Amino acid sequence: MLNQKLPDDFLWGGAVSANQCEGAWDIGGKGISTADVAAAGKHGQGRLYTEGIVEGVYYPNHQAIDFYNRYKEDIALFSEMGFKCFRTSIHWTRIFPNGDETEANEEGLAFYDRVFDECLKHGIEPIVTISHYETPLYLVEKYGSWTNRKMIDFYVKLCKTLFERYASKVKYWMTFNEINVITLNPMIAAGIRTDKYDNPEQMMYQAAHYQLVASAKAVKIGREINPDFKIGMMMLYPLSYAETCSPEDNLENMHNMDLHYYFSDVQTRGYYSPKAQKFLERKQIALDITAEDKLDLLAGTVDYIGISYYMSLVTSANPERKIKVKGNMLEGIVNPYLEKSDWEWQIDGVGLRISLNNLYDRYQLPIFIVENGLGAVDEKIEGAMIQDDYRIDYLREHIAHMKEAILTDGVDVMGYTVWGCIDLVSASTGEMKKRYGMIYVDRNDKGEGTLRRERKKSFHWYKNVILSNGSSLD
Ligand code: BG6
């Protein structure tokens, strides 16, 4: 099995987001986004979002890795690795600096033309996430971001502009990055400062509904603009296991997973499941859902499911079992069978195979693994290549289990993109030292460094994986 190839059209590649790599935060008419007011957090802590730009505070995303100016060099390196695709996102504030303008910013649109043209020149398919963890700050301050129904129209206008402009360049789209994160971290996912609301839970689920409707409307419009588009949803896949075989632990675990299927059920089926409706009733959450919203949800179901998968967790029904481990915005109990990363994310390759099976059994839609990778501290010795064997081990294990899911279990997986294929700013902590890349970037947590790019050992390993179409993982 391990030496078998994947289908010829399998999309191997890498992934980044605009706000974590572009920099140039105030260049080319760009407005301020929530990512621009996210200060660097400390190890193990979240990020602090300031009210506006505060003098003297360091904002790592402002320069990030300067992809805005270095995209040609970076895409050439991706091409050297043999990428078939490259996933990035659009910085909303490059296109509509405030978010509610009627005219798009031509300089912003032209930048993404250049990026996509460069990809296509190298035979690399651009994969575009429309909204990845940044919201125009103006929309946050003036409208309360996604707590306001008006956001649907602003977002749909953005999508229509992008679909029309890049209709001949981009085929694969995703509407929102990790849409299920809105209830875990409303600020990063949707520009919502929960401390400003009396009933944050009600408001988060309302905002989630507006995002779901906005996504569905975008899918419908995208299909009208170009019927060849493939438009997907994207979720953080939060695999968790019951701690014991007790029915109570398993029931608790099921409820845990249901919090996330809440989103994918709507985006794939076009309506809230009976279980989701009961959940809202139990929580006494009454949503503003119009008859038109229901029609929009039905008309805008997705073509594929994009997932991020990094780790797994464990659930217990026993309240005395303390939460012992965190990771990727989730919390759970330590799994004694698994190793942990430098950031204590529990490494679980088999879990990827289980996740792919779970999703395919449930929806029978193609799945695109658009994020998987290892955030680790790399030791840089001047003049020597980084020997990131730990990253190779992680990727090898996950790719091997992905292959089992495809070749043994029959799951339809469209492609696989390594997260942070080039070192970038961590989303949850703002650190640079949490490196995912197969390409090293000379920059540290204080924003110092030359931004020079260097190939790591994993660069050469992944190149060989792609060249062999997955048949060689050595
Ligand atoms: C995903 C996000 O959840 O995890 C990315 O879509 C993020 O934006 C990635 O970078 C890894 O998380 P972190 O916090 O290590 O950057």
Q: Could you report the per-residue pLDDT of 184-213, keeping only the tens digit for each?
A: 999 999 999 888 888 999 999 999 999 999
Could you tell which of 428, 429, 432, 433 is best to mutate to test the pocket of ligand 1, judged by most ligand atoms within 8 Å of the CB? 428
**What residues are annotated to the active site?**
178, 371
In the chain, the amino acid numbered 316 is S
Mean pLDDT confidence for 254-263: 97
- Ligand 1 pocket, Cβ-based, cut-off 6 angstroms: 17, 20, 133, 177-178, 236, 308, 328, 371, 375, 419, 426-429, 434
Residue 49's H or E segment, with its range, is: none
At residue 429's C-alpha, the angle toward residues 427 and 432, to 5°, is 80
Residue 201 half-sphere exposure toward CB, CA atoms < 13 A: 9
Cα gap 51→32, rounded to integer Å = 12
- CA-CA distances (angstroms) from residue 32 to 80, 91, 206, 415? 34, 10, 25, 33
In the chain, the amino acid numbered 171 is K
Q: What one-character DSSP code corresponds to residue 33?
A: B
* Residue 313 CA from chain centroid, whole number: 19
Q: Tell me, what's the pLDDT at 227?
A: 98
**Among all chains, which residue has been given the structure tokens 């988060």?**
204
pLDDT in tens, 300-338: 999 999 999 999 999 999 988 877 777 878 888 999 999
Cα gap 277→111, rounded to integer Å = 43
Q: Tell me, what's the pLDDT at 36?
A: 98
Confidence band, pLDDT 50/70/90 cuts, at residue 47: confident
Residues across the chain:
474
Here the contacts of 253-262 (C-beta below 8 Å, separation 24 or greater) are: 253/315, 256/315, 259/180, 259/183, 260/180, 260/235, 260/236, 261/362, 262/180
What is the Å distance from ligand 1's center to 3 Cα? 30
Ligand 1, atom 10: closest residue by C-alpha: 427
Q: What's the chain's average pLDDT? A: 96
Ligand 1, atom 7: closest residue by C-alpha: 427
Cα gap 419→428, rounded to integer Å = 14
Task: Of 289, 251, 130, 267, give the one whose Cα is nearest residue 212.
Answer: 267
Q: What is the CA radius of gyration of the chain?
A: 21
- Residue 382's Cβ-count burial label (10 Å; 0-12, 13-18, 19+) is exposed
- The answer on pLDDT for 46 being more than 80 is no
Could you tell which of 328, 342, 369, 436 is best to mutate to test the pocket of ligand 1, judged by most ligand atoms within 8 Å of the CB? 328
- The answer on pLDDT for 395 being more than 90 is yes
Cα gap 240→225, rounded to integer Å = 39
Confidence band, pLDDT 50/70/90 cuts, at residue 246: very high
Ligand 1, atom 15: closest residue by C-alpha: 426
- The answer on pLDDT for 136 being more than 60 is yes
At residue 413's C-alpha, the angle toward residues 407 and 418, to 5°, is 110
pLDDT in tens, 361-392: 999 999 999 999 999 999 999 999 999 999 99
Cα gap 283→277, rounded to integer Å = 10
Shortest-distance atom of ligand 1 to CA 420: 10
CATH 3.40.640.10 assigned to domain 11-467? The reply is no
Cα gap 417→454, rounded to integer Å = 20
CA dihedral sign of residues 418, 232, 426, 258: negative
Ligand 1, atom 3: closest residue by C-alpha: 328
The domain limits of the chain are 11-467
Q: What one-character DSSP code corresponds to residue 404?
A: I
Cα gap 215→221, rounded to integer Å = 10
Mean pLDDT confidence for 443-467: 98
First to last CA, the chain: 14
Q: Tell me, what's the pLDDT at 2?
A: 59
Shortest-distance atom of ligand 1 to CA 425: 16
What is the Å distance from ligand 1's center to 376 Cα? 13
* Residue 288 CA from chain centroid, whole number: 27
* Residue 388 CA from chain centroid, whole number: 23
Task: Of 91, 122, 132, give the one whose Cα is nearest residue 306.
Answer: 132
What is the Å distance from ligand 1's center to 375 Cα? 9
- Residue 36's Cβ-count burial label (10 Å; 0-12, 13-18, 19+) is buried
Mean pLDDT confidence for 77-100: 98
Confidence band, pLDDT 50/70/90 cuts, at residue 462: very high
pTM value surpassing 0.95: yes
